[in-house]
């Protein structure tokens, strides 16, 4: 059988086993499944934050959303994307970060718009990001600093979720948070643990996905816990 390769996925081993009437060995099928799942995550990531964006636009409200949390997400995605580019990982292992970053920036811009008046300190943070982000994405910083930045992005993602988790707990409500977006974030983190291990990504990359499972899972459980009573109240008032 001739070599069959597409988008970095080698189907030769699997097709050879199937043509011989055998079930492909796990050493043959796991890397292929990992690549396929990786590209599925990348494809899904193109719309993962769209439900959240549409929900805000529909209600013209950012009630219950933590601005700082969403700003930290942008910083975290920027560092993670820059690191994966710098390390030369295959696109299937990190491609979703590019789409998530674009959507996260759009989301922050919408939150700013519906949070008028925006404080000067908020504009200062935005301008600082615009000044520093291109340098980080281009990898034009000291390698040791780059490693330190990537190590810190786990803390950044963790603390990006904590304000939102606290906001939800304090209000006993998840406001305008989108269940679909949070569910996709949670599911993506779970799948990414498997694909990162298969792609032999650095352990720090795997750790980031594990943190994503814990924090996104917490927010998802809050949506389930707090939105059900609210839905009942809404029905009673109709």
Mean pLDDT, the chain, whole residue set:
82
With cut-offs at 50, 70 and 90, classify the pLDDT of residue 231. Answer: very low
With cut-offs at 50, 70 and 90, classify the pLDDT of residue 59. Answer: very high
In 3D, which of 53, 36, 28, 83 has the Cα closest to residue 204? 83
Residue 214 has pLDDT above 50, yes or no: yes
What is the pLDDT at residue 233?
Answer: 46
The mean per-residue pLDDT over the stretch 100-123 comes to 92
Q: Which of 8-12, 191-195, 213-217 has the highest mean pLDDT?
A: 213-217
The mean per-residue pLDDT over the stretch 100-111 comes to 94
Residue 46 has pLDDT above 90, yes or no: no
What is the pLDDT at residue 13?
Answer: 67
- Looking at the DSSP bridge assignments, the partners of residue 6 are 9
d(CA 40, CA 22): 27
**How many residues are given for the chain?**
238
What is the pLDDT at residue 112?
Answer: 94
Per-residue pLDDT tens for 154-197? 888 888 889 899 989 998 888 889 999 999 889 888 888 887 77
What is the pLDDT at residue 2?
Answer: 47
What is the pLDDT at residue 10?
Answer: 57
d(CA 210, CA 154): 10
Residues above pLDDT 70, as percent of the chain: 83
The mean per-residue pLDDT over the stretch 72-84 comes to 91
Segment among 32-41, 64-73, 161-170, 212-221 with least mean pLDDT: 32-41
d(CA 95, CA 118): 32
Is the backbone of residue 9 left (phi > 0), alpha (psi -120 to 50) or beta?
beta
Segment among 121-125, 184-188, 196-200 with least mean pLDDT: 196-200
What is the pLDDT at residue 218?
Answer: 94
The angle that helices 143-171 and 203-237 make with each other, rounded to 10 degrees, is 20
What is the pLDDT at residue 16?
Answer: 64
- Cβ-in-10-Å burial (0-12, 13-18, 19+) of 238 comes to exposed
Cis preceding linkage at 77, omega within 30: no
């Amino acid at each position: 059988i001739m070599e069959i390769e597409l988008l970095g996925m080698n189907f030769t081993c699997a097709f050879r086993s199937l043509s011989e009437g055998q079930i492909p060995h796990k050493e043959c099928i796991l890397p292929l499944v990992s690549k396929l799942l990786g590209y599925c995550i990348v494809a899904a990531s193109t719309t993962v934050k769209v439900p959240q964006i549409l929900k805000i636009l529909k209600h013209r409200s950012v009630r219950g959303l933590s601005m700082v949390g969403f700003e930290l997400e942008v910083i975290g995605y920027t560092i993670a994307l820059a690191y994966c580019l710098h390390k030369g990982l295959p696109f299937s292992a990190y491609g979703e970060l590019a789409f998530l970053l674009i959507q996260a920036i759009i989301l922050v811009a919408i939150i700013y718009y519906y949070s008028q008046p925006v404080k000067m300190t908020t504009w200062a943070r935005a301008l600082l990001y615009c000044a520093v982000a291109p340098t980080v994405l281009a990898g034009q910083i000291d390698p040791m600093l780059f490693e330190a930045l990537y190590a810190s992005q786990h803390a950044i993602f963790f603390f990006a979720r904590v304000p939102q988790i606290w906001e939800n707990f304090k209000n006993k409500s998840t406001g305008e948070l989108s269940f679909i977006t949070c569910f996709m974030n949670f599911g993506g983190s779970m799948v990414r643990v498997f694909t990162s291990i298969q792609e032999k990504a650095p352990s720090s990359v795997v750790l980031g996905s594990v943190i994503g499972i814990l924090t996104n899972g917490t927010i998802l459980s809050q949506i389930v816990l707090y939105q059900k009573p609210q839905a009942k109240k809404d029905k009673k008032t109709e």
